[in-house]
Amino acid sequence: MEKYKIAVIPGDGIGTEVIAEGVKVLEKIAHIDGSFAFSFDYFPWGCEYYCKTGKVMDDDGLERLSKFDAIYLGAVGAPNVPDHISLRDLLIKIRQGFDQYVNLRPVKLLAGAPCPIKNINREDINMVVIRENSEGEYAGAGDWLYKGKEQEVVLQTSVFSRKGTERIIRYAYELARHENKTITSISKGNALNYSMVFWDEVFSEVGKEYPDVKQYTYLVDAAAMFFVKDPARFQVVVTSNLFGDILTDLGAAIAGGMGLAAGANINPEKKYPSMFEPIHGSAPDIAGKGIANPMASIWSAAQMLEFFGKKEWSNKIIRAIEKVLTEKTVLTADFGGKASTKAVGEEIIRQLSLLC
C-alpha cells in the first residue's frame, strides 16, 4: 500500500479549524480508496509558538519537514506578532528553503459559488495563476539605513534571476500547452524598467519554443481591471511574486471569496516537499468561533491529491464542494449560511461518499 507522510502545520486562528476538516477529508478518501494511506505528523509552529518560545518555527524545522512527502498548512498570523515576522520566519522560509518556486492558484468559479460580478457566465472565470514564489519582490533583499535618523533610508530590492524567471515562465508555458490553453504574462515593464523589462524579454524568448500556445501580455494595472471586467481573457496566467499575491486575492473575490481560494506551493522537481494551503490568513476576526469556511483548505487538499497523481480523487472533492454549494443547505456565514466549519466539512464528506 502506498503511504504518504504529511506534515501538518495548522498554524494560528482559523488555520487550526479549517485544516482539521481537510485532514478528515483526506482520511476518508484513503479509507474509501483502500490502495493508499496517509500519516499525519503535527507541528505546533506559528504565532502562539513564537510567544512561548521566541521562534515561529524551530531552528531545525526545514530539516524535519524535509522527511515528508507534503506539507499541509493552515495559516499563520496573529494581531500580537508583527506580520513580517510570522510570514518570513515560517511561510517564506519554507517556500524559499524548499525551492517551492511555483505558487499555483486556481481562480475558478465553482457551480453554486457566489460572484460579485453581475451577469457573468460561470465558465468565464476559469483560470490558473502561476505566481513566481521564490524570489522577485519577496526575495527579502534590502537594507534599513540610519534608522530613526533624519537621513533614514530603506531599500527593498527585487531579485529576478535568469534561472528563476525562466523556470517559472517555462512551467506556465508547459501547463498551457498541456491543457491547450492560452498564456498571459502580467508585468509592469513601463515603470519597472529593469526587472519587468527583463521579465517581458524572457517571456517572449521562452515563448518562441511554444509557437502552438497563444500568448498575451498585460500590464498589471490593466490586468487588475480585466480580472473584474472580462475575466474570460485569462486562462493560464504567469506573474511575479508580488503581483501574483495581489491578483489572486482579487481572483478569490470574483470566484467565491477567501473561504474558497486554494493554493499549492510546488517544487516541481520533487527534491523537497511541496506545501498546500488555503490562501486566506488566520482571520482573527472570526477565529475560535467555529464559523470559518473550510472549503479553501479542502480544495488545497484536493491539489495535494492531484500532486500525488490522484486526479480522480481531486476532481471528486471539487464536485463534492460544488454539491454543497449548489444545495445551499449547509453553508458557513461568508456564504449566507449558519453552519459551523465542522458541519460543512462533514457535509463535504457526505457528498463525497455519495459520489463513490
For residue 7, the surrounding DSSP H or E stretch is: strand 2-11
Rounded to whole angstroms, what are the CA distances from 41 to 57, 70, 335, 337, 354?
A: 15, 11, 32, 33, 29
Give me the least distance between CB of 300 and ligand NAD, in Å please.
11
Give me the least distance between CB of 81 and ligand NAD, in Å please.
8
- Greatest extent of the chain over all pairs of C-alpha atoms, in Å: 67
- Closer Cβ to ligand NAD, 223 or 331, answer by number: 331
Question: How many residues in the shown chain lie near ligand NAD by CB under 6 A?
Answer: 22
Q: Which of 61, 106, 231, 281 binds ligand NAD (CB under 6 A)?
A: 281
The C-alpha atoms of residue 54 and residue 50 are separated, in whole angstroms, by: 5
Give me the least distance between CB of 284 and ligand NAD, in Å please.
6
DSSP string, 265-284: EE-TT-SS-EEEEESS---T
Residues 306-335 that bind ligand NAD (CB under 6 A): 334
Give me the least distance between CB of 345 and ligand NAD, in Å please.
12
Site mask for ligand NAD (CB under 6 A), range 153-182, x = bound: ------------------------------
The C-alpha atoms of residue 304 and residue 285 are separated, in whole angstroms, by: 28
245 belongs to the binding site for ligand NAD (CB under 6 A): no
Give me the least distance between CB of 283 and ligand NAD, in Å please.
4
- Closer Cβ to ligand NAD, 37 or 62, answer by number: 62
Residues 14-43 that bind ligand NAD (CB under 6 A): 14, 18
Q: Residue 114, class by beta-carbon neighbours within 10 Å (0-12 exposed, 13-18 middle, 19+ buried)?
A: middle
Separation of CA 266 from chain center: 10
The C-alpha atoms of residue 217 and residue 119 are separated, in whole angstroms, by: 26
Residues 117/118/120/126 CA torsion (nearest 10 deg): 10
296 belongs to the binding site for ligand NAD (CB under 6 A): yes
For residue 51, the surrounding DSSP H or E stretch is: helix 47-53
340 belongs to the binding site for ligand NAD (CB under 6 A): no
Give me the least distance between CB of 142 and ligand NAD, in Å please.
19
Q: Give the interface with ligand NAD as residue ranges (CB under 6 A).
A: 14, 18, 75-77, 83, 87, 91, 258-259, 277, 280-286, 292-293, 296, 334
